[in-house]
Amino acid sequence: MGFLSNDQLTFIFGLLGNIVAVGMFLAPVPTFYTIFKRKSSEGFQSIPYSVALMSASLLLYYGLLKTNASLLISINSIGCAFEVTYLIIYLIYAPKQEKMHTMKLLLIFNMGSFGSMLLVTMFLIKGSNRLSVVGWICAVFSVAVCAAPLSVMRRVVRTKSVEYLPFALSASLTLNAVMWFFYGLLQHDYYIALPNVLGFLFGIAQMILYMVYKNSKNNGEEKEDHLAGNKEVEQMTNENESCSVDDPDKEMKISTCSFKPKKSNANKKMEEICTNV
């Protein structure tokens, strides 16, 4: 790649990062389509979208403080728009209790925390220090977001099931981390580059877990279904046997008989119960 300048490579990785990130922002669309069809968001949580909105807001503010950060500004503006839309849909269809919980979360976490940080950095921190402080805040928050899948990974190991670990999403997160790592590295912006190292490592770890446990769930379900089927057949055989008696002259079924085991203290007897049709 010696024929490409540093600025060109930065633009390429930033553009690819935008494309991959847009795909990630679109990932919840099926979830919200389900919510729209059901006219209820019960069973879903708003926390991931609140956290994603906070992350996009912080990086958007950081991009506005930087120079030559148009790609960083563009993708986080798009991210904010997506997350606000998701949260509005969630609030429209949320039960009253969840609606109140989400409103409190947005007021305290998104508006309160972000607003406080904005005021402090704008009025109390001057010059280049402002960019450094905001950069560190973004880096710490990004590390926390990258570490969030640890709970899912622990659940996969414990249950040996990848039900809550979609491979496509893990691959997208890994690819996204690669793109933004090189973008930050080429710009010598370590507030962007370093957190994505952790994002890349966690993404690889998730994909490895998926490959290790991807067949465990299916095998477990097949075994469970097989045992359940055997148990049902055995129960039907032991508890209820039916027969039919045909009248050879009338050529029609005239009675059905079912035999049920009836236990007594001394022995088991078969009681024949015939019901005429």
pLDDT tens digits for range 27-38 = 888 889 989 999
pLDDT class of 241 with cuts at 50, 70, 90: very low
Residues 143 and 190 sit within 8 Å (Cβ to Cβ): no
Whether residue 239 lies inside any domain: the answer is no
pLDDT tens digits for range 109-148 = 999 999 999 999 999 998 889 999 999 999 999 988 877 7
Task: Determine the length of the chain.
Answer: 277
Closest CA to 170 of 146, 193, 188, 191: 146
Burial state string for 171-201 with b = 16 or more CB within 10 A and e = fewer than 16: bbbbbbbbbbbbbbbbbebebbbbbbbbbbe
Contacts of 58 (CB under 8 A, 6+ apart): 114, 117, 134, 137, 138, 141
pLDDT class of 244 with cuts at 50, 70, 90: very low
Distance CA 63, CA 118 (A): 13
Whether residue 247 lies inside any domain: the answer is no
Whether residue 259 lies inside any domain: the answer is no
Whether residue 232 lies inside any domain: the answer is no
Number of domains in the chain: 1
Whether residue 226 lies inside any domain: the answer is no
The number of angstroms, rounded, from the C-alpha of 4 to the middle of its chain's C-alpha atoms is 38
- pLDDT for position 222: 45
Distance CA 245, CA 252 (A): 9
Residues 52 and 84 sit within 8 Å (Cβ to Cβ): no
Angle at 178 between CA 177 and CA 181, to 5 degrees: 80
pLDDT class of 2 with cuts at 50, 70, 90: low
Whether residue 106 lies inside any domain: the answer is yes
pLDDT of 193 higher than 70? yes
Tokens of 51: 């956290």
| Enclosing domain of residue 22 | 7-218
Whether residue 255 lies inside any domain: the answer is no
Helix, strand, or coil (residue 51) = helix
Tokens of 173: 């997160």
Whether residue 266 lies inside any domain: the answer is no
